[in-house]
């Protein structure tokens, strides 16, 4: 399967752009969704996390309490490494499984924090899986404006989230392709997406085994 990984900061337009590829018939695999699914109630990973950190890691409803988990690993490098060693192989194999099950000519793998995770094993694994990295690019003022508008958060809150993510230049340094999701009209942007889609269709057909 030819895999295009798509990434970008908050409010850059990953979801919007992924939906446009989906409208062109391309199946989308969402790494964030997978990261949540693998620790859903009843999963072996949640059982392992609960026995490692104790039942206080669960909410009253038996869900993983991400806030508590974040606090527990924040200042504990060993706990963080343990968690990554547990989850990354599971997330990776589920991403591979879902990408392999795709029946469209190529697969779009949405990885919101690909760049932030670039120093971790997971990012290497994603990159090995991805044939191409597409970065959705807008300037920071646009990211803030669109995030505030979408989420109803203050400028300060949006700025704080941006500051916790990779910078625009760090992201662009990882790109094979860049989609400008800012300049021009909706139509211009749609045409850019269509051009990328044609390119990926061509790459995917070159890679397909000859019969
Ligand atoms: P992400 O998934 O990267 O956080 P979204 O796709 O949710 O970003 O887009 C953030 C917000 O910006 C949404 O409200 C979306 O409708 C809007 N948006 C996305 N692309 C554009 C665009 N080209 N022009 C104007 N608004 C846009």
12 lines ligand 1 (CB under 6 A): yes
Mean pLDDT of the chain: 92
- Atom of ligand 1 at shortest distance to CA of 182? 23
Q: Which two tokens stand for residue 1?
A: 């399967």
Tens-place pLDDT, residues 90-137: 998 999 999 999 999 999 999 987 766 654 666 777 777 899 999 999
Is 13's C-beta closer than 6 angstroms to any atom of ligand 1?
yes
Which tokens belong to 79?
Answer: 């706990």
C-alpha 139 – ligand 1 centre gap (Å):
13
Ligand 1 mean position to 18 CA, how many Å? 11
138-189 pLDDT, tens per residue? 999 999 999 999 999 999 999 998 998 889 998 899 899 999 999 999 999 9
List helix spans (H) across 54-185.
66-74, 77-100, 121-129, 140-151, 155-164, 168-173
Alpha carbons 123 and 114: distance in angstroms, whole number: 6
Q: What is the pTM of this model?
A: 0.90
192 Cβ closer than 6 Å to some ligand 1 atom? no
Distance in angstroms (rounded) separating the CA atoms of residues 73 and 143: 29
Mutation pick for ligand 1 pocket among 14, 16, 108, 193 (CB with most ligand atoms within 8 Å)? 16
What's the pLDDT score for residue 94? 93
Q: How are strands ordered across the β-sheet holding 106-110?
A: 27-30, 106-110, 2-7, 132-137, 177-180
What pLDDT does 178 receive?
98
Q: What's the 12 CA to ligand 1 centre distance in angstroms? A: 6
């Amino acid at each position: 399967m030819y895999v295009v990984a798509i990434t970008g900061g908050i409010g850059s337009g990953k979801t919007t752009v992924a939906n446009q590829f989906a409208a062109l018939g391309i199946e989308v695999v969402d790494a964030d969704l997978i990261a949540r699914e693998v620790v859903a109630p009843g999963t072996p990973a949640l059982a392992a996390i609960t026995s490692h950190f104790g039942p206080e890691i669960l909410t009253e409803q038996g869900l993983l309490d991400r806030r508590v988990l974040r606090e527990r690993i924040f200042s504990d490098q060993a706990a963080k490494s343990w968690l990554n060693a547990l989850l990354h192989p599971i997330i990776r194999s589920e991403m591979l499984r879902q990408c392999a099950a795709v029946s469209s000519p190529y697969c779009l793998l949405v990885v919101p924090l690909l760049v932030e995770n670039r120093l971790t094993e997971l990012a290497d694994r994603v990159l090995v899986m991805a044939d191409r990295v597409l970065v959705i690019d807008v300037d920071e003022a646009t990211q803030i404006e669109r995030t505030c508008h979408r989420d109803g958060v203050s400028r300060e809150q949006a700025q704080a989230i941006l500051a916790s993510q990779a910078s625009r230049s760090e992201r662009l340094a990882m790109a094979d392709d860049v989609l400008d999701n800012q300049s021009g009209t909706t139509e211009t942007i749609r045409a850019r997406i269509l051009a990328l889609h044609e390119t990926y269709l061509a790459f995917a057909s070159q890679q397909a085994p000859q019969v």
